[in-house]
Chains A and B, each alone.
Chain A
C-alpha cells in the first residue's frame, strides 16, 4: 500500500505533463500566426497625424451616423482621401470594431476586441470611463461587401505581400473591369512579389477572356490553364459553353478538364481528412470507454455525461479567465481530467462496485446516473447551451490551395486525439498502474493473490477512463454545443467504436474510430448524412455477425469468459 500511493501520483503527473506539453507546443506554433494578424490591424494611425484636414474629421463622424446607403457613400469619399488613418478606420468598420457615440458630434473609436478603445481621429487611448456610451457602429451585408471592395483597392499598395495578394484576389472575385485593370497595371510595374504578380496576370487573363479577338482569348486560356481559382473555373466554363468560336471553345474545355483532374485528386485528400477528423472525434469519445468498458467490462451509460462535465469545465475556466481565451484550454484540459476523473471515481465507489458481474443492472444504474447528471447540469448551468469561445488559434483554416483547405480546430483535435491515445497506451504499457490494470482485467483472483488491491485498481481505472472522457469533452466543446445534451449525442457512437475495434484493445479503438470515420465520410456524399449513419450501423452489425469480437479480438485467458 505504501508504495502504491506515490506511484499513482507519478503517473498522473506524467500524464498531465505530457498533455500540457503537447498543447503548449501547439500554442507556440500558433503564436507566430497571431502576431502577424495582430500586426496587420496594428497599422495604427499614431505616427502620421500630420494632415488633420477638417474634411477628414467630418467624414469619419458622418461615417457612424445616419442611414446605411448614405454611410456607404461617405466611406467611398473617405477612401479617396490620401490619409494613413483611412485604411484602419474602414477596416475597423468592416470588421465591426468601430465604435461611436450616438450624437451629432460623436466620439469615434476603434476597439481592439479586448475592451481597449483608441480614438479613431487622433490615436489617443480612451479611458474606460469615457468608453461607456460607445456603441458598435451597425453595418449590414451590403455595406460590408461594398467596404470589402473599397478596401481591396486601398490595400493594393500595402507594405505586406499577403495583404496585397488578398486585395488582388478580392478584385478578381468581385469581377474585373477596366478600372480595376488600370489599377492593377499601375501596381504590376512596381510589384516585387511573385505570387502577387501571378495573381495580377490571372486578372489580366480573365479580362482578356472577354476580348473580341479569338487569338487573344486563346492566349488567355493558356495562361489560366492549371489555375484552381473558382473565378477562373466559372469563367472558363462560361467560354466552353457559350463562345462563338469553336476553337476557343475546345481550348477552354481542355483547360477545364485538366483543372478538374487536379481538383478531383484534392477532393479525395480532403475527404480522407474529413474522415480522419471525424475519426479523431470518435476516438476521443471512445477511448475513455475502451478503458471502462473494454478493460473493466463495465457498461457505463454515463460516459457521455462525463464528457459533458469536461465541456462544462472548459466553459467555467473561460468564465474565470475571460481575458485569457487563448490559454484557457491549457488550464481546462488538466482541470477537466481531474473533475471528470473524481466524478468517475465517485460513481465507481458509490454505485458500480456493488454491481460488478451484473451487466444489466450496471447498465440501468449508470443510465440513471446519466439522467441525474444531465438534470444536475440543467439545474446548475440552466438548460440553455453555454457559449464556449474558440481561441483565435483554433479558428480559421490552413489554406493549401483554393480547393483544399484544412480547418485548424479539426487539425488540432486530430493531433490531440493521437496524443491522448499514445499517452494512454504508455500508461497501460509502461506504468505500474497499467500493469495492475492489465493484471486485474486478465485474472482478478490471481492478481489479488499476488497482492494487487483489486478494488483500488478498479477505482483508479474507472477514474482514468472518466478523466479521459473529460478531456474529450474539452475537445468537443470546441466543435459543438456545450449543454446538458452533449453526452447523449456521442454515447452510441462511442460504444460502436469500441465494439467494432474489439473490446479491450486500444489499437482496435484507434483503427475502429478512424475506419468508421472514413467509411462515414465516403458514404455521405452518395447517401446523405442520415442514410450514411444508418448504413454504417448496418455494416457494423453485419461485421459483428462475422467477427463477434471486433477487428482485434482479445487473446488469452481474458478472451475465454
Chain B
C-alpha cells in the first residue's frame, strides 16, 4: 500500500519533470541542438565522461564566439549508461524528440553498431571519436578516430623497422575491435614475411586480472633469441594488472616492448606508471605535443574542468576536430539539414592539435598524423616516431580477404562498400 503511494508520487514527479523539460525546450526553439551520447554511468563512464565534458566545453566556446548561423548551440546530454541497446533508444530519443542537428558520441564499437540502424533510419549525423577496427562506412557516421591503418599498421611498421622486432605477440581483450585488428595485423605481418610460428595470438576476457601465466608465456615466447614485441589491444581495465605483472616478472621495455592501442594519458593517470616506463603507445595525438594550438587547448580544458591535474587525450582531440569540421560544414551549407551537411563536410579542413590540418575524406574518415610514444614516469608520452605528413583513414583494410576489394566514397560512388571487382555497391545489408 505504502509502496504504491510512493510509486504514484514518483510517477507524478517524473511527469512533472518531463513537462518542464518539454516546455523549456519549446521556449528555446531558436537554438541549434547538439546531442551528446556518452555513458555517464556503468563500466564505460570511466572513459566517456571526459568526452561529454569536452563536448560541453567546445559548445560553450562556440557560443562565446557567437554561436552558429546566428543561433546559440544547446547541448542535449543523455546517459546511455554503458548499456548497448540503450544507445539505440537514446539516439532515437535525441533525433525524434529533441531533433538534434548532430550527435557526438559512442565509445565502444558495439555501441556504435547499436546506434547505426537508428541513425541511418532517421537520417541523423553521428561523430564517432574513438580508434576502431574499420570495416564500416555509413553515410550518416563520421569516423574521427583512427582506422587500423592510422594506428595499428604504422605502429607495427615502427617496431619492425626501428626496433628490428622479429617475433610478435598479439594480445587482446576478447571482443570485436581486438579480434578484427589482430586479424588485419596477422595478415599484414604474414604479407611482410613473418612466419606463422613467430606470431602468438592471445585473447583474455574483459577485466582479466590474473596475468601470471600469460606473461610467463610471453617471456618464454620472447626467449627464442629473436627480438620480440607485444602488440596490445587489451581493453582499459585489464591493463593495470597486465603491466604490473610485466613489471613484477621483470619484463622490461628494453627486452620486450609492449605497444598499446588503448592506453592513453587518461588511462595512465589511474596507473602507477613506474613499471610502464619505456613501453609504447600509438595514437594520433599526445598531450605532450609542443605547439600553440595544443597549449591553448590544454589551458582551456584545465580551466573548464577546474582541475589542474586533468589530462587531455586522443579521443578528445578527435571530438575537437570533428566538432570544428561540423561547424564549418554547417556554415558552408547554411543549414543543419543532414543531407546538405553530409555533402558539405567532405573536403573540409580543420586544425588538429599536432600542428596540422585534418581533412574529411569522401569515405567519412579523416587524415591524421600517427605518433608513436614511449610512456614516461609522469604519465606522459615521449614521441619517438611520427609519420611524415598525414595518413588518410581507410575504411576497408587492404589486408583482409573480402575487404580489400571494397571502397567507400560517398561523393562519387554514393556508396560505403563499393566492390571494385564486381563493380557493385553492396548496400546497407552487407554492411551490418
Partner of A384, one of B46, B174, B249, B278: B46
Contact with B along A255-292 (1 / 0, CB 8 A): 00000000000000011001001100100000000000
Asked if A407 contacts B249 (CB within 8 A), the reply is yes
Q: Which of A475-512 contact B (CB under 8 A)?
A: 479-485, 488-489
Q: Name the interface size band of chain A.
A: 35 or more
A270 contacts across to B, CB distance below 8 A:
213, 216
Contact with A along B379-393 (1 / 0, CB 8 A): 000101000000000
Asked if A396 contacts B210 (CB within 8 A), the reply is no
Q: Does A453 lie at the interface of the complex (its beta carbon under 8 Å from any beta carbon of B)?
A: no
User: Once the chains are docked, how many angstroms separate the CA of A347 from the CA of B202?
Assistant: 41
Partner of A481, one of B202, B204, B241, B273: B241
Asked if A387 contacts B270 (CB within 8 A), the reply is yes
User: Once the chains are docked, how many angstroms separate the CA of A234 from the CA of B244?
Assistant: 27
Asked if B204 contacts A530 (CB within 8 A), the reply is yes
Contact with A along B254-297 (1 / 0, CB 8 A): 10010000000011011111110110000000000000000000
Asked if A483 contacts B270 (CB within 8 A), the reply is yes
Contact of A278 with B210 at beta-carbon distance under 8 Å, contacts A140-B382, A385-B46, A528-B202 already known: yes
User: Once the chains are docked, how many angstroms separate the CA of A235 from the CA of B210?
Assistant: 32
Nearest B residue to A410 via CB reads B212
Q: Does A408 lie at the interface of the complex (its beta carbon under 8 Å from any beta carbon of B)?
A: yes
Tell me which of B103-111, B185-193, B370-378 binds A. B370-378
A283 CB, min distance to chain B CBs, angstroms: 13
Q: Does A395 lie at the interface of the complex (its beta carbon under 8 Å from any beta carbon of B)?
A: yes
Asked if A485 contacts B253 (CB within 8 A), the reply is no
Contact of A530 with B46 at beta-carbon distance under 8 Å, contacts A144-B253, A397-B249, A524-B213 already known: no
Q: Does A521 lie at the interface of the complex (its beta carbon under 8 Å from any beta carbon of B)?
A: yes
Q: Does B120 lie at the interface of the complex (its beta carbon under 8 Å from any beta carbon of A)?
A: no
Asked if B41 contacts A138 (CB within 8 A), the reply is no
Contact with A along B195-210 (1 / 0, CB 8 A): 0000000111101111
Q: Does B340 lie at the interface of the complex (its beta carbon under 8 Å from any beta carbon of A)?
A: no
Q: Does A378 lie at the interface of the complex (its beta carbon under 8 Å from any beta carbon of B)?
A: yes
Q: Does A136 lie at the interface of the complex (its beta carbon under 8 Å from any beta carbon of B)?
A: yes
Nearest B residue to A399 via CB reads B250
Nearest A residue to B247 via CB reads A395
Asked if B384 contacts A140 (CB within 8 A), the reply is yes
Q: Does A553 lie at the interface of the complex (its beta carbon under 8 Å from any beta carbon of B)?
A: no
B271 contacts across to A, CB distance below 8 A:
385, 387
Q: Does A71 lie at the interface of the complex (its beta carbon under 8 Å from any beta carbon of B)?
A: no
Asked if A480 contacts B257 (CB within 8 A), the reply is no
User: Once the chains are docked, how many angstroms separate the CA of A133 from the CA of B286?
Assistant: 23
Q: Does A375 lie at the interface of the complex (its beta carbon under 8 Å from any beta carbon of B)?
A: yes
Nearest A residue to B307 via CB reads A382
B376 contacts across to A, CB distance below 8 A:
96, 136, 138
User: Once the chains are docked, how many angstroms separate the CA of A251 from the CA of B107?
Assistant: 57
Q: Does A145 lie at the interface of the complex (its beta carbon under 8 Å from any beta carbon of B)?
A: yes
Residue among B205, B248, B384 with the highest chain A CB neighbour number at 10 A: B248
Q: Does A148 lie at the interface of the complex (its beta carbon under 8 Å from any beta carbon of B)?
A: yes
A479 contacts across to B, CB distance below 8 A:
209, 241, 244
Asked if B254 contacts A385 (CB within 8 A), the reply is no
Tell me which of B55-63, B65-73, B217-225, B350-358 binds A. B217-225
B5 CB, min distance to chain A CBs, angstroms: 18
B266 contacts across to A, CB distance below 8 A:
384
B310 CB, min distance to chain A CBs, angstroms: 9
User: Once the chains are docked, how many angstroms separate the CA of A530 from the CA of B41?
Assistant: 26
Partner of A405, one of B41, B237, B244, B249: B249
Asked if A395 contacts B45 (CB within 8 A), the reply is no
Q: Which of A335-389 contact B (CB under 8 A)?
A: 375, 378, 382-389
Partner of A141, one of B204, B250, B257: B257
User: Once the chains are docked, how many angstroms separate the CA of A270 from the CA of B219?
Assistant: 13
Nearest B residue to A135 via CB reads B378
Asked if A274 contacts B382 (CB within 8 A), the reply is no
Q: Does A326 lie at the interface of the complex (its beta carbon under 8 Å from any beta carbon of B)?
A: no
User: Once the chains are docked, how many angstroms separate the CA of A375 from the CA of B203?
Assistant: 30
Partner of A521, one of B213, B249, B278, B378: B213
Contact of A397 with B270 at beta-carbon distance under 8 Å, contacts A234-B223, A480-B240, A529-B208 already known: no
Asked if B272 contacts A387 (CB within 8 A), the reply is yes
Partner of B203, one of A383, A390, A530: A530
Asked if B46 contacts A529 (CB within 8 A), the reply is no
A142 CB, min distance to chain B CBs, angstroms: 8
Asked if A396 contacts B257 (CB within 8 A), the reply is no
Q: Does A61 lie at the interface of the complex (its beta carbon under 8 Å from any beta carbon of B)?
A: no
Q: Does B133 lie at the interface of the complex (its beta carbon under 8 Å from any beta carbon of A)?
A: no
Partner of B244, one of A148, A382, A390, A528: A390
Asked if A407 contacts B245 (CB within 8 A), the reply is yes
Nearest B residue to A270 via CB reads B216
Contact of A144 with B270 at beta-carbon distance under 8 Å, contacts A485-B43, A521-B213 already known: no
B240 contacts across to A, CB distance below 8 A:
385, 480-481
A150 CB, min distance to chain B CBs, angstroms: 13
Asked if B253 contacts A141 (CB within 8 A), the reply is yes
Q: Does B344 lie at the interface of the complex (its beta carbon under 8 Å from any beta carbon of A)?
A: no
Asked if B204 contacts A529 (CB within 8 A), the reply is yes
A378 contacts across to B, CB distance below 8 A:
41, 45
Nearest A residue to B215 via CB reads A407
Asked if B225 contacts A383 (CB within 8 A), the reply is no
B248 contacts across to A, CB distance below 8 A:
395-397, 407-410
Q: Does B335 lie at the interface of the complex (its beta carbon under 8 Å from any beta carbon of A)?
A: no
Nearest A residue to B278 via CB reads A141
Q: Does A76 lie at the interface of the complex (its beta carbon under 8 Å from any beta carbon of B)?
A: no
A447 CB, min distance to chain B CBs, angstroms: 32
User: Once the chains are docked, how many angstroms separate the CA of A390 from the CA of B241?
Assistant: 12
Partner of A383, one of B49, B241, B272, B278: B49
Q: Which of A138-174 contact B (CB under 8 A)?
A: 138, 140-141, 144-145, 148
Nearest A residue to B252 via CB reads A144
Asked if B213 contacts A140 (CB within 8 A), the reply is no
Nearest A residue to B214 via CB reads A529
Contact with B along A445-487 (1 / 0, CB 8 A): 0000000000000000000000000000000000111111100
Asked if A480 contacts B225 (CB within 8 A), the reply is no
B205 contacts across to A, CB distance below 8 A:
529-530, 533
Partner of A230, one of B45, B49, B223: B223
B213 contacts across to A, CB distance below 8 A:
270-271, 274, 521, 524-525
B173 CB, min distance to chain A CBs, angstroms: 10
A527 CB, min distance to chain B CBs, angstroms: 11
Asked if A397 contacts B203 (CB within 8 A), the reply is no
A381 CB, min distance to chain B CBs, angstroms: 10
User: Once the chains are docked, how many angstroms separate the CA of A24 from the CA of B45?
Assistant: 38
User: Once the chains are docked, how many angstroms separate the CA of A375 from the CA of B46?
Assistant: 12
Nearest A residue to B379 via CB reads A387
B267 contacts across to A, CB distance below 8 A:
385
Asked if A530 contacts B212 (CB within 8 A), the reply is no
User: Once the chains are docked, how many angstroms separate the CA of A387 from the CA of B265?
Assistant: 13
User: Once the chains are docked, how many angstroms separate the CA of A271 from the CA of B208?
Assistant: 18
Nearest B residue to A148 via CB reads B254
B377 contacts across to A, CB distance below 8 A:
96, 136
25 contacts across the A-B interface (CB closer than 8 A): A96-B277, A140-B278, A141-B253, A144-B278, A234-B223, A271-B213, A281-B209, A386-B270, A387-B270, A395-B247, A395-B248, A396-B250, A397-B248, A407-B245, A409-B248, A479-B244, A480-B241, A484-B45, A485-B207, A489-B207, A521-B212, A525-B213, A529-B204, A529-B208, A529-B214
Task: Report, nearest first, the 3 A-B pairs whose CB atoms are least far apart.
Answer: A385-B270, A234-B225, A407-B248
Residues of chain A at the chain B interface (Cβ within 8 Å): 96, 136, 138, 140-141, 144-145, 148, 230-231, 233-235, 237-238, 270-271, 274, 277-278, 281, 375, 378, 382-390, 395-397, 405, 407-410, 479-485, 488-489, 521, 524-525, 528-530, 533
Residues of chain B at the chain A interface (Cβ within 8 Å): 41, 43, 45-46, 49, 163, 174, 202-205, 207-210, 212-214, 216-217, 223-225, 237, 240-241, 244-245, 247-250, 253-254, 257, 266-267, 269-275, 277-278, 374, 376-378, 382, 384
* Contacts A277-B212, A525-B213 known; 5 new A-B pairs at CB < 8 A: A385-B267, A387-B273, A407-B245, A525-B217, A530-B174
